[in-house]
Amino acid sequence: MFRDKAHLLKRIKMALGIYSVKLPVTDDELFQDVIIDTTLPVFSTFIPYEYQLLVDLNEIRITDRYAVDDSSLISNCYQIPNIFPKQRCLGINNIRPYIEYNGMMMTSSYETIDSYQVLATGQTLANLASAMIPPQTFKFIPPNKFEIYNQVLYNNKVYLDLTFTHSPELFTIPETARESFYELALLDAKAYLWNHLKYYSSIQTAYGQMDLKVDNWENAESERKDLLERWSDNYHLDSVPAIFYI
């Protein structure tokens, strides 16, 4: 697997047999056009970067555009903080209430008959409420907003389970998924270089004339399509629906 972006680019060039060849594009252009603009966005839709963020809904609430002032109407629309400026938010997997125990972590704090009676009563009321009150759901609104429907929270703090594209530095890609990333990046590089070099039969190097054999890359687009179809049949099994009960 690759260690960092420089190592990834080295592996790709060595696999293509162009590591010591001076290309019409620089390494920076190759990395930007292939890895950042092509491979990274597509790969992130299959294995996104997941991040849990604790927020206060009052602090990120978007005031209703029809409100006369900030207090006349309560909006159910919120804006996700821009915590990763170089990464795009892809969605929200879940929204969970933040619960504070206030130090009551030992069972001895509530091991009484009254406590169990209160618990039983509370559970009964919760069961009744769940049957009568519409479920709480949310909707992600690209690129960085979301709405909560039928909101009933005991406090305004919630955990947002967010998904993002991976960092351009590639360090957010899990090590267990880096070989898959490399596989897609290699096909993207083949397709990119085929379009740039298909009119060249050879290229001059410091060691003389070199046959590029770019015809070996002609089927890269078809191979890439097959790879993504195979991923689509498998990776969606671990994905989370777009709307959840809270």
pLDDT digits (tens, 9 = 90+) for 63-110: 765 544 555 456 789 999 999 999 999 999 999 888 766 555 555 555
Report which of 153, 156, 116, 158 is spatially closest to residue 133, judged by C-alpha positions: 153
For residue 127, give the H/E element and its range.
helix 113-132
The pTM of this model reads 0.78
What is the CA 225 to chain-centroid distance, rounded? 21
Report which of 36, 13, 55, 80 is spatially closest to residue 173, judged by C-alpha positions: 36
Of 233 and 179, the structure prediction assigns the larger pLDDT to 179
Across the range 179-198, mean pLDDT stands at 91
Q: Are 162 and 92 in contact (CB under 8 A)?
A: yes
For the cut 90, the answer to whether the pLDDT of residue 238 exceeds it is no
- CA pair distance 116, 137, nearest whole angstrom: 31
